[in-house]
Structure 1
Amino acid sequence: MTHLLEACMDHLDEICAIDQEVIGDFSRSEYIRTAINEKRCIIQKTEKGIAGFLIFTNDFFENSFISLVIVKRSERRKGVATALLVFYVEMVDTPKIFSSTNQSNTSMQKVFETTGFIKSGYIENLDEGDPEIIYVKLK
């Protein structure tokens, strides 16, 4: 059984461990701690523990912005990212929801398309040679 819920500080170490597994370090630990404290972090929890998490903000030009979706390597291709996005879209009350991913991240692009997000633009020069694709979901 899986549960989608707001993260709490009891989840911090496990979320940071998943993030470290994916990016290779703990550089975002304080960012994650802040998001949890501000109630801007959602997790998908299974009987095995946390499968993935999503961090958002609601102050992107008066709209929502999903800044991070991370799924534990062992839980990938099981619908975790899709479930997190769908859950967030249902709970948010802004008319538009934005997010982004690197052009090289074709897996996340497919998740956005599956959940009804459409391409909205590009940002160059964030990651050298790998533009950021901006997506939007209109409610």
Structure 2
Amino acid sequence: MSRQVRRAILGDIESLLQIDPVAGRDDSRRKYIARAVRAGECWVVYEKNDPGGPIGYGCLDRSFFGEWFIPLVVVSSEIRRSGAGRQIVSYMERHSSAEKIFTSTNVSNLPMRRLLEGLGYQHSGRVENLDPGDPELVFVKFLS
């Protein structure tokens, strides 16, 4: 299967809400997704033969102390670990003006940690007390 990435459009919001398991139970996540799409800070990956049906998405903004930050990467549960997440992150790296990009994930999120390490991100810090018993690890990648 051939996949492509494009900037999310307003018509994608409902599909993104459907593939994001947190959005179904968290109103703030639904609002965040809609805001990111409207702000042009969200990209979707889709099967080349179905451009209207996103199978994953990622967001990139300047929310981390004014630095580029990837706050969210979500891939449909049916195709996780198939390279879609890697494709979204790589696309955002290539199409940003960033010299470095930060992101974070919980200690417990081993698939995301492996994805980041495989893309050359390095550990940059640790934040306690966001999720009880599951610290947040901060990563950075220098692009220039």
In 1, the alpha carbon distance for the partners of 2:68 and 2:38 equals 18
Q: Is 2:17–2:24's contact at 8 Å kept on the other side of the alignment? A: no
Name the amino acid aligned to 1:100. S
- Report whether the alignment pairs 1:54 with 2:58: yes
TM-score in terms of structure 2 length: 0.90
Q: Which runs of 5+ in 1 are unaligned?
A: none
Q: Which deviates the most, 50-59 or 8-17?
A: 50-59
- Report whether the alignment pairs 1:74 with 2:78: yes
- Report whether the alignment pairs 1:18 with 2:54: no
Q: Is 1:116–1:137's contact at 8 Å kept on the other side of the alignment? A: yes
Q: Which runs of 5+ in 2 are unaligned?
A: none
Name the amino acid aligned to 1:90. R
SS of structure 2 residue aligned to 1:94:
coil
Distance 1:26 1:126, change over 3 A: closer
In 2, the alpha carbon distance for the partners of 1:23 and 1:35 equals 14
**Cα offset, 1:31, TM superposition:** 0.8
Q: Percent identity?
A: 33
**Cα offset, 1:23, TM superposition:** 5.8
Structure 2 counterparts to residues 1-139 of structure 1, below 5 A: 1-19=2-20, 21=21, 24-27=24-27, 28-46=29-47, 47=49, 49-139=53-143
**Cα offset, 1:25, TM superposition:** 1.9
- Describe the superposition over 1:50-73 as per-residue Cα deviations: whole angstroms up to 9, x where unpaired: 111001212423320000001100
TM-score in terms of structure 1 length: 0.93
State the superposition RMSD in angstroms: 1.4
Count of residue pairs brought into register by the alignment: 138
In 1, the alpha carbon distance for the partners of 2:121 and 2:90 equals 11
In 2, the alpha carbon distance for the partners of 1:123 and 1:115 equals 22
In 1, the alpha carbon distance for the partners of 2:127 and 2:114 equals 19
In 1, the alpha carbon distance for the partners of 2:54 and 2:75 equals 9
In 2, the alpha carbon distance for the partners of 1:32 and 1:25 equals 13
